[in-house]
Chain A
Amino acid sequence: MRDDPDIPRFRQLTEGPSVEIIFEGTRLTVPKGISLAAALLLHGLPAGRIGALSGSQRCAYCLIGQCFDCTMTIDGVPYRQACLTPVSEGMTAERQVA
């Protein structure tokens, strides 16, 4: 799933300290302090929910806390917005149906 060519790709302009998060069981090294949505996009991973009706993969759309397309289960709590949640050491994240 990592570096899935079907997910839009992003890169970071700066380099700095990093933290480790766990996305669906896979350890990822991500820049400290950025949002979970930005961190997943940097890894070419789907930063979004699975549509409850069609089952289609969504990806962060507005990134300002409005659209809920980046809804995820974060640290075991469902329905959290990845765009508003900064990454932290050991954070776990899973996609969810929403």
Chain B
Amino acid sequence: MTRDSFDLAIVGGGPAGLAAMDLADECGLSCVLIDENSSLGGRIFHGIETDGQDHLYGTDATWARTLVADAKHAGSILTGRTVFDITHHDDGPINIHILGDEGAETVLARRLLIATGATERPFAFPGWTLPGVMTAGGVQTLLKGAAVVPDGPVVLAGSGPLLLLVALQLKRAGAQIAALLDTTPAANAMAAAPLLASAAFSGFAVWRGLGLLMAIRAQSIPVYRGVTKLVAHGEDTVASVEFEHGRGRRRFECRLLVTHLGILPDTQAARLAGCRLRWEPALPGWVPIVDSYGNTSRSGIMIAGDAAGIGGAESARHAGRVAATEAATQLGAISMGERDHRIAPDLARLKRLGRERAFLDRLFLPPERLRVPTDDGTIVCRCEEITAGELRAQAAGGVCEINQVKAITRCGMGPCQGRVCGVLAADIIADAMGAAVESVGYLRVRPPLKPVPLDVLAARAEIATPPPEAAFLYTREG
């Protein structure tokens, strides 16, 4: 079934998507917002529509709730729908193919805004596939969306603001925290110091971070710094975690190991749509190429928020407003002068927020020794169970491009389609070759973006057999 055509379709109901929806409506555009979750808020504001847990979102709770409420009056909301393909032929509308409980549908739109947010950087070490190892974002999602907290001793390991925040939130929720293992290298603080003053005067991130550290100390959470060589032990589930700290090895028993190594843009939909990416050394990672209005290398397709590069929730909200206003300008709903007038405060705020982001990026920059598992037996591709050693063997044999590695080893070919292992595998290959990660490339994404029952696909002949001229959509260069 094909739905009505919209001026703007937005994929992702986080701060960028919600703010874009509101602005687009204000500019007179018809819009639709699609999200695979059953409620709005995105990953950062997951569960914001549920009462009683405002403390989990800090001072952002108020504006996040307003965004959700405003977006609901601004157009059609399609939650619980997964985008499985994006096609765009000639000058026609962009086709966004979605799957929900009622089956597959196609949304037509003149402009598409991808606002799929961020995903966690993979943190691979021996034992990371054991039940009981979870990402910090995942554990926070359980808390925000279901008020579910771990019972039994918890160890948190890794680096980044989210790990610290989750440690504090779990402790305040009554969880038993055995240890917080901080893997941030001591040298990071020195390297980030020159950026501190500019960041501190640009926003609240530095002050919030200080408050977080003080709160962790006040809660008496045992913190171990400069942690390396993490190993999770257990037969059927994680039972203990071993690590190196100072000169010795230590071990803590735990029922849950929470890991985190920073976040990266979720570029799966952007790559499917054929948007070109560039290497961003500050993350380090791949980010879509966008101009200051959110336009990508594909005409009609825009990206805003963390999906375009990590900036945080407040940045995402401003970027969403900018992108929606730009879409309205391109569609003739408002003039360029009106656009510039509307978005001037947003662009100014984005610039300031960028300064504190530069500090945070440098402070928590993950070193190569954490991004590349040293043990050859460590699983890299959780789906196809390909190990670091198998990838290094490919590098030794001269296979140096990530899509070739995928074709030969099946790394990245399982149900998750390389969402978790893609950047990890590229880091390993680059390290083994002594080459720059950007020369290894990134995984191509092909439809379907997520699994679709075959009977659904079969009923949609135009997707089962795309016209040959559409094939260029799925090449790396777009």
Chain A residues near B (Cβ < 8 Å): 6-14, 31, 33-35, 38-39, 41-42, 46, 48-49, 51-54, 56-69, 71, 77, 79, 81, 83-84, 86, 98
Contact = CB atoms under 8 A, between A and B. Distances in A.
B383 A42 contact: no
Cβ-closest 10 pairs across A and B:
A59-B131, A63-B138, A34-B146, A38-B146, A68-B415, A79-B451, A9-B151, A68-B416, A8-B132, A13-B147
B178 interface: no
Given A8-B152, A51-B385, A46 B131 contact: yes
A66 B131 contact: no
B416 A66 contact: yes
Given A61-B134, A62-B134, 16 more contacts: A8-B150, A8-B256, A9-B152, A10-B149, A12-B146, A13-B173, A33-B50, A34-B148, A35-B146, A38-B146, A64-B137, A68-B416, A71-B415, A79-B415, A84-B36, A98-B383
Contacts, number: 135
A69 B382 contact: yes
Residue of B52, B82, B139, B415 with most chain A CB atoms under a 10 A cut-off? B415
How many of chain B's residues touch chain A, expressed as a range? 35 or more
Residue of B37, B129, B142, B256 with most chain A CB atoms under a 10 A cut-off? B142
A13 B142 CA distance: 11
A7 to B, nearest CB: 6
A42 B415 contact: no
Interface string B27-44: 000000000111000010
Residue of A33, A34, A38, A67 with most chain B CB atoms under a 10 A cut-off? A67
A35 B144 CA distance: 11
Contacts of A61: 129, 133-135, 138, 382
B137 A48 contact: no
A77 B82 CA distance: 15
A54 B52 contact: no
Interface string B171-198: 0011000000000000000000000000
B43 A64 contact: yes
Nearest to A5: B237
Contacts of A98: 383, 414-415
Given A11-B151, A61-B138, A56 B129 contact: yes
Contacts of B419: 66-68
A14 B137 CA distance: 21
Contacts of B451: 79
Contacts of A52: 383, 414
Interface string B453-464: 100000000000
A2 to B, nearest CB: 15
Contacts of B237: 6-8, 59
A65 B36 contact: yes
A81 B417 CA distance: 14
Interface in B133-171: 133-135, 137-139, 141-142, 145-152
A79 B150 CA distance: 26
A62 B383 contact: no
B119 A53 contact: no
Contacts of B385: 51, 53-54
B174 to A, nearest CB: 8
